[in-house]
Structure 1
Amino acid sequence: MALSATTMALQVETIALFATTMALQVETIALSATTIALQVETIALSATTMALQEVTFNSVAITITI
């Protein structure tokens, strides 16, 4: 009887550990998605910065020409 109770307790612990593992996997996937979103934002920001640098360069070129 005591062994049966211990086995059941271990099964409950195993299920809880499995649930925790699944939750961690979901968190990892969410973190991965956030990282990808941040990379996309960084690429967009980089493109915007490059466009602004080009505008600035063109403005300087126009100023020098005038």
Structure 2
Amino acid sequence: MFSEKIRQLRKDRHLTQAEVAKEVGLSARGYQDLELGAKPRYDALLHIADFYGVSADWLMGRTDNPAVNR
């Protein structure tokens, strides 16, 4: 679920894995591993959610609402 969501978010924005990895502070391989199903560290999850402007709960499948509550 997480891997599918981040892959789709990236593709919707026409970004490469390397571009996203750089923005969220991961290696290109580390980001690729996440898209292939690896579980994210908590800090990486938060950076990715912030980068895409969605909630971490939505990325992890805990809610159907991608909006960030601030």
TM range (shorter): under 0.3
Structure 1 or 2, whichever has the larger Rg, is 1
* Greater fraction of residues in helix: 1
- Greater relative CO (CA pairs within 8 A, separation 6+): 2
